[in-house]
Amino acid sequence: MPARNRKTSPRKPLHCNIAVPALSTKRFYGHGLPGVDLNRLTGKLIAVEGADGSGRSTQIARLVQWLEGNGHATIQVGLKRSTLVSEELEKAQEGNILSRITLSLFYATDFADQLENIILPALKAGFVVLADRYIYTLMARDMVRGMDEGWLKNLYGIALVPDAVFYLNVAPEQLVQRTFAKNFALDYWESGMDLGLSRDMFDSFLRYQALVEEQFKRLQSTYRFEIIDGRRSVDEINSELRRKIESVMAGKA
């Protein structure tokens, strides 16, 4: 009898904390990619922007732990990470051989490959996609190099509008300190050395980052990313990001 009772007694409902992300309408900035059913993209796309050393990797690593701990599958994308052209792009940059437009199109190809083969399929499968930089860095860098804003906006019309974009704002002087403490060197391209702003790499880094920041501010009026004060502690920044992402997941943002 007790055995039969066990079989027939109603089971306790499984208790779980997994919040199913609320559906949000997705759209492309412009012409987008053909053949994509936007209504089927049930995941969330969160982009974290900011200069070298602004703390993007640090914050994304924590967000991944937090999101996965709460039952959300995540995937990460970033610049120069496509399987299609990332190695070739790296090589081309080492040799400094491409014209500005060709280099720009190389980066756009790297982005398009990840969009088509990682971002869109992952969103279709309900993943939270964390983008370590998105089209805005690419546009800002190109705008500093004198490329036409309208042309760039059109080029990146293929991009999907993220559910949230956070820009980690840190003063250039602090960026130098952090980057140097981490890598013991500054990066040639992140210092804008190709622009001939200064022979001194530190000086060039400061000038270049200020120019990029200026372009980010211009783009902000069109793309409306949230500016996060990146000078605070890692924990403080992360709490703010979590709060904001929680609203995104609940479809309130």
Ligand X SMILES: Nc1ncnc2c1ncn2[C@@H]1O[C@H](COP(=O)(O)OP(=O)(O)O)[C@@H](O)[C@H]1O
Residues forming the site for ligand X (CB under 6 A):
50, 52-58, 178, 181-182, 233-234, 237
Residue nearest to Mg ion (CB): 57
Minimum CB distance to ligand X smaller for 16 or for 181: 181
Q: For residues 49 and 165, what is the distance between their CA atoms, to the nearest angstrom? A: 7
Q: For residues 191 and 211, what is the distance between their CA atoms, to the nearest angstrom? A: 11
Q: For residues 223 and 221, what is the distance between their CA atoms, to the nearest angstrom? A: 6
Stretch that binds Mg ion, among 54-62, 140-148, 157-165, 176-184 (CB under 5 A): 54-62
Minimum CB distance to ligand X smaller for 32 or for 204: 204
Written as one string, the DSSP assignment of 34-55 is TT--GGG--SEEEEEEE-TTSS
Shortest distance, position 107 Cβ to Mg ion, whole Å: 17
Shortest distance, position 209 Cβ to ligand X, whole Å: 12
Minimum CB distance to ligand X smaller for 21 or for 53: 53
Shortest distance, position 247 Cβ to Mg ion, whole Å: 25
Minimum CB distance to Mg ion smaller for 49 or for 152: 49
Q: For residues 174 and 187, what is the distance between their CA atoms, to the nearest angstrom? A: 15
Ranges assigned E (strand) in the chain:
44-50, 74-78, 128-132, 164-169, 226-229
* Structure-block tokens of residue 177: 């300190």
Shortest distance, position 236 Cβ to ligand X, whole Å: 8
Interface with Mg ion (CB under 5 A), residue from 24, 42, 57, 220: 57
* Structure-block tokens of residue 115: 């969009």
Shortest distance, position 183 Cβ to Mg ion, whole Å: 10
Minimum CB distance to ligand X smaller for 21 or for 111: 111
Minimum CB distance to ligand X smaller for 21 or for 55: 55
Shortest distance, position 142 Cβ to Mg ion, whole Å: 20
Instruction: Return the sign of the alpha-carbon dihedral for residues 12, 17, 22, 23.
Output: negative
Sheet holding 44-50, edge to edge: 74-78, 128-132, 44-50, 164-169, 226-229
Residue count at the site for Mg ion (CB under 5 A)?
Answer: 1
Nearest partner of 221 among 153, 129, 138, 173, judged by Cα: 153
> From ligand X, Mg ion, none, which one binds at residue 178 (CB under 5 to 8 Å depending on kind)?
ligand X
Residues at the contact surface with Mg ion, assessed by CB under 5 A: 57
